[in-house]
Structure 1
Amino acid sequence: MARRTVGDIEKIWSSVEGIRKLSDRVIGVGPVGFGLDALLTWVPVVGTAYTVGAAGWLLYQAQQARATPGTIAKMVGYLAFDTATGAVPLIGDAVDTFFPGHLMAARALQKEIESTHWVEADEASSRASGEHERHLETIRSKPHLRRLVYLHD
């Protein structure tokens, strides 16, 4: 696998933002938004294909960003509920229209990306050079950071 950079992580964040907006916030009225997921849920097969495809893309991006198992589980829960409701004719479609599953899953991944200190090195060389302690100090000094990921491991 090619070595990742912070730029790659930023591209993942932007890609997730695009799916979030396209799926659940193309049209926003106050706190309520609608997107392709809400519109296509009323079209048999096409709506399910879109929902599953977008969910798969979000989970792939989570894997690429090395999301924690907890974040992935949260995303799977949101996306599974979104997919299951859309698969039920009429009542399920109505629920799916107002349930922003893709938006919630995308936000969970974006929060994780934002709370991670990304290092373009491998852990072994960082420990050997003494930089690992500096990275840990960065995490301790910034309350929004919760984890450290070496991109070249």
Structure 2
Amino acid sequence: MAKRTISDIENIWSNVEGIKKLSDRVIGFGPFGVGMDGLLTWVPIVGTVYTVGTGGWLMWQGLRAKATPATLARMAAYMAVDAATGTVPIAGDVVDTFFPGQLLAAGALQKHIESTHWVEDSEANAKASGDHDRHLETVQADKKLRRVVYLHD
């Protein structure tokens, strides 16, 4: 895998935000919203293709951002529910119109990104230079951070 930078991670976060809004929040009213996913669910096959396509793209972004298996599983579960509801005629379409699968999956990935201390180095280099312990201390000191990810591993 190519070496990533913090800028790459920021771009992933931003791209995921765009899909989140396009898919589930083009039209918002209070805590509810409808986006392309909800609108296209009423078009046979097209809605399912859109849901599966955006779900696959979000999963790919999760892999690029070195998301944990738990985060990827959570994202996959949201997208599976979203795709499954869209396959049930009428009642499923109504549920799928308002079920924010992409929004939930994207939010899980963004939360993962925000709770990670990103380092533009390899773990071996950080350990050799003594910086690894400093990175661990940073994670321990900041309650929002949960783990260290070395982008060049």
Aligned residue for 2:42? 42
Distance in 2, matches of 1:50 and 1:89, equals: 17
Query: Match for 2:96: what amino acid?
Result: D
Query: Match for 1:49: what amino acid?
Result: V
Deviation per residue, 1:117-141 (Å, 9 max, x gap):
0000000010010000110111011
Indicate yes or no: 2:70 matched with 1:59: no
Deviation per residue, 1:66-85 (Å, 9 max, x gap):
10011111111100000000
Indicate yes or no: 2:148 matched with 1:152: no
How many equivalent pairs are there? 153
Aligned residue for 2:13? 13
Distance in 1, matches of 2:98 and 2:35, equals: 10
Write out aligned runs for 1:77-116 (5 A). 77-116=77-116
1:12 counterpart SS class: helix
Q: Which runs of 4+ in 1 moved over 4 A?
A: none
Structure 1 alignment gaps of length 5 or more: none
Query: Match for 1:78: what amino acid?
Result: Y
Over aligned residue pairs, what C-alpha RMSD do you find? 0.6
Q: TM-score with structure 2 length normalisation?
A: 0.99
Aligned residue for 1:30? 30
Displacement of 1:89 = 1.1
Structure 2 alignment gaps of length 5 or more: none
Query: Match for 1:86: what amino acid?
Result: G
Distance in 1, matches of 2:125 and 2:76, equals: 35
Query: Match for 1:116: what amino acid?
Result: T
Q: TM-score with structure 1 length normalisation?
A: 0.99
Distance in 1, matches of 2:87 and 2:15, equals: 26
